[in-house]
Amino acid sequence: MRIGQGFDVHAFGEGDHVMLGGVRVPHERGLVAHSDGDVVIHALCDAIFGALALGDIGTHFSPRDERWRGADSRQFLRHAAQLMKQQGYRLGNVDVTVIGEAPKVGPHVASIRECLAADLGCDVGRISVKATTTEKLGFCGRGEGIAAQACALLEHA
């Protein structure tokens, strides 16, 4: 078995939605990022890359590479899943926490879990997504940005 963890932050900016776990969530602000700024997928990719000791998301998808400008982060996750399989592992389970005051994630959790499970090629029961505020403290609490952390456990296939 292998275990990994990941963490990602993006600042709010212009826009009317945020991408969370591949799901478009309406919001009064967008996210500033090179790609689509999907903190859930970025944290989850880093958890998988970390479990495999294969660097991090920037190792595989450089923020200086124009190919990833505005990119759909789901392709990053599918790449991580492919590497996992190539290395002889399958997903045991993942647990993701979104950190921020808004948008509220609860109403979107079922869709996010379905989306992540589809890209990882696993049963949705292996994917946990939850959210917390920081009780209005810190940069997330002030509504300056949104964060996510993720853990992934990989099993020998």
Ligand X SMILES: C[C@@]1(CO)OP(=O)(O)OP(=O)(O)OC[C@H]1O
Ligand Y SMILES: Nc1ccn([C@@H]2O[C@H](COP(=O)(O)O)[C@@H](O)[C@H]2O)c(=O)n1
Binding residues: 8-10, 34-35, 42, 56-58, 132-135, 139, 142
Residues 39 and 10: beta-carbon distance below 8 Å: yes
Local structure of 98: helix, strand or coil: strand
Tokens describing residue 152: 């992934």
Q: Is 11 or 102 the residue whose CB approaches ligand Y more closely?
A: 102
- Smallest gap, in angstroms, from Cβ of residue 155 to ligand X? 26
Query: What are the DSSP E strand ranges found in the chain?
Result: 2-13, 17-20, 23-26, 30-31, 89-99, 127-132, 145-156
Stretch that binds ligand X, among 63-71, 95-103, 111-119, 144-152 (CB under 6 A): 63-71
* Closest by Cα among 44, 27, 34 to 10: 34
Residue 58, binding choice from ligand X, ligand Y, none, Cβ under 5 to 8 Å by partner class: ligand X
**91 forms bridges with which residues in the sheet?**
154
Distance (Å, whole) CA 101 – CA 153: 28
Q: Six-digit token pair at 80?
A: 């991580």
Distance (Å, rounded) from C-alpha 91 to C-alpha 81?
9
Among 28, 132, 138, 144, binds ligand Y (CB under 6 A): 132
The one among 2, 11, 17, 34 contacting ligand X by CB under 6 A = 34
Rule CB under 6 A: say whether 119 interacts with ligand X: no
- Of residues 2, 7, 54, 58, which one binds ligand X by CB under 6 A? 58
Please list every residue from 90 through 129 that binds ligand Y, using CB under 6 A.
98, 100, 102, 104-106
Interface residues toward ligand Y, by CB under 6 A: 98, 100, 102, 104-106, 131-133
Binding residues for ligand X (CB under 6 A): 8, 33-35, 37, 42, 57-58, 61, 63, 68, 71
